[in-house]
Amino acid sequence: MKHAKEIAIDQIKPNRYQPRKEFNQDALFELAQSIRENGLIQPIVVYPQAEGYEIIAGERRYRAMILAGYTCIPCHVMNAKEHEIAQLALIENIQREDLSPIEEADGYVQLIRLKGWTQEKLAQVVGKSQSSIANKIRLLQLAAGVQVAINRHEISERHARALLQVQHEHQEAILDEIIKRKLNVAQTERYISNLDQDKVKKSKPKTKGLARHIRIAKNTLRQAVSMIEKAGTKVKIEEKDYEDEVVYRISIKK
C-alpha cells in the first residue's frame, strides 16, 4: 500500500456497510487522548467517491480524531469496485472481536445479500463454522428491545439464545425480569423453562412423512456411492446435518 495521504476530515464519511451500531464513548475518549499524545499510529483506509471519501477500515480512529480536535487525518487511499469495497468493509468489521453479536449477525446478512452467498460459503470466507453463523443470524429474530439490550451488553449472547424460546410478544417482558433480577444464564434458562406454555415457542414436530423422505434420500445417495466404489473409483462422502437441511459433499478423485 502507498504512503498515507493527509485528507481533511470533513471530506470523509463513515462506511454505509458498517455493521457496528454502538461505539463505546469512554473507549473513544481514551483513544482520542492517546492520539493527542502519540499521534495516529495506524492510518485509516478510505476509497474515493464522486465527492470526498468513504471509510473502508478505521471508523473508531476517525471518530477519535474528531474528538481529539484534528481537521485532517492520515489515510491510505484504495481504488476498488463498489461490491469489493462493501465486501472488504464488512469482513474487516465482522472479524473485529468487539462487535456485538447483533452487529456481527447484521454484517453476515449484508454479505449474504450483497454476494448471494450461502451460509456455508460465507463461513469459508470469514473462517467461522456454518453453525456459528446460523446461530448468530437467528438472533435477528429477537424482539427489537432484546437486540438493543445485546448491543448495550445488558445481557449476553447466551441469555439471548434462551430468549429465542420465548414467544416474540413476551420477549421484552422476560428481558426486563432477567435484568431486574440480575439472572445468570443458568437461572435464565430455568426461569424460561418454568414459564406458562403459552409464552414458550412450540418446537416444530418432524412429520413421519418428512423423516421418511430424508431417509430415502440418504439411502439412495449411499447406494449410488457404493456402486461407484464397486466400479473401482475412490469416493469420499461427507454429511452435515443442520437444523433446516442435510448437506452432502461427494468427492471423486480424478
Residues 6+ apart with CB under 8 A from 250: 221, 225, 235, 236, 237, 238
Do the Cβ atoms of 41 and 134 come closer than 8 Å? no
Cα–Cα distance measured from residue 254 to residue 249, given in angstroms and rounded to the nearest whole number = 16
Distance, C-alpha 48 to centroid of its chain: 27
Give the residue numbers annotated as catalytic, written as ranges: 59
Distance, C-alpha 111 to centroid of its chain: 9
